[in-house]
Amino acid sequence: MPPMDKNQDFSHFSGLTPDLVLDAVEQAGWMVDGRLLALNSYENRVYQVGVEDGSPLIAKFYRPERWTDAAIIEEHQFSAALAQAEIPVVTAFPDAQGNTLRHWQAFRFAVFPRQRGHAPELHDPATLEWLGRFIGRIHAQGATTCFEHRPALNIDSFGTEPRAWLLQTPDLIPDELKTVWADTSQRALDQVQRQFDLAGEVPQIRLHGDCHPGNVLWVDDGDEAGPHFVDFDDARSGPPVQDLWMLLSGERADMQAQLGDLLAGYEDFYEFHPRQLYLIEALRTLRLIHYSAWLAQRRFDPAFVAAFSWFGTPRYWQEKITELQEQIAAMQAPTLWPV
């Protein structure tokens, strides 16, 4: 996790004016009509752009220094390969030379079609089975080769490194809670390691990486009926169950049923290794630690200050301690099914 201190310059998006966004899309080949709508995105800046005599487009401007050009292009190539395999993912438009990553002034951006749809109904077994089929197809394609420029999701990258950064950054965790958080987070990571040890060797494949319900748009009718997967910005290598566990919620019995419905479709296209069940709560724990560091590294970005004003308060860190304590207990509980 790259170091970031309180003097970090977060002004790099300040020059991203409406006129610049429209100019960028127009020089990319579209006749814009002046309509511009900022969409809900904190890591990057994403806009809906009106186009003359056509459907609106989505323009995504990438946060500087987060990904290399090669890593962004690799994400686009992965999405394009999935689309070529007739998997419903939203891919970036290429230019005449086939390039999907574009540059305008100091910014890097990509242009996507606007995908209609709504959040999937995850209480419906048929919906979950349908989702499972396409996630299985994504994983079958993801297993055909490896990422070269994008990182892996593992204990170091999502746990040990962000934890160390949080503890080493001054004035971040309140003094009265720092020792408790340090102890609790270490006990949580110790249990995560035990869960990974129990799981043993599981496949490490290319993943969507952030496959929560907000990144799936469901279409009810027509030729596009079914799920459409969007935003591969967090695509990484990792255990396949990473793309399944975020679709589970509720009590234990609820999650058992939901996972069964997902796998009913998933295993038509890709094998599920049952020992991955040890990783579900471990991956949830890693996400909690990583998310705290992700927020902390961006705490001086004006967009984050406005949206996450509660971050860093004693109440926030006390809640994180409680969540990690709950995760320790969850990891010690039996897996959803016997392994």
Residue 109's SS3 state is strand
Rounded to whole angstroms, how far apart are CA atoms 244 and 258? 10
**Residue 183 annotated as catalytic:** no
Of 162, 85, 152, 122, whose CA–CA distance to 247 is shortest? 122
Rounded to whole angstroms, how far apart are CA atoms 199 and 192? 11
Spatial contact of 112 and 231, defined as CB atoms under 8 Å apart:
no
Rounded to whole angstroms, how far apart are CA atoms 216 and 89? 9
**Residue 210 annotated as catalytic:** yes
Six-digit token pair at 227? 């799920």
Task: Single out the catalytic residue among 23, 33, 156, 210.
Answer: 210
Task: Single out the catalytic residue among 124, 231, 233, 254.
Answer: 231
Six-digit token pair at 169? 């950054």
Six-digit token pair at 49? 């752009």
Rounded to whole angstroms, how far apart are CA atoms 87 and 80? 10
Rounded to whole angstroms, how far apart are CA atoms 299 and 309? 9
Rounded to whole angstroms, how far apart are CA atoms 109 and 21? 10
273: left (phi over 0), alpha (psi -120 to 50) or beta: beta
At 47, the amino acid letter reads: Y
Sign of CA dihedral 204, 206, 209, 215: negative
Spatial contact of 135 and 266, defined as CB atoms under 8 Å apart:
yes
**Catalytic residue list:** 210, 231
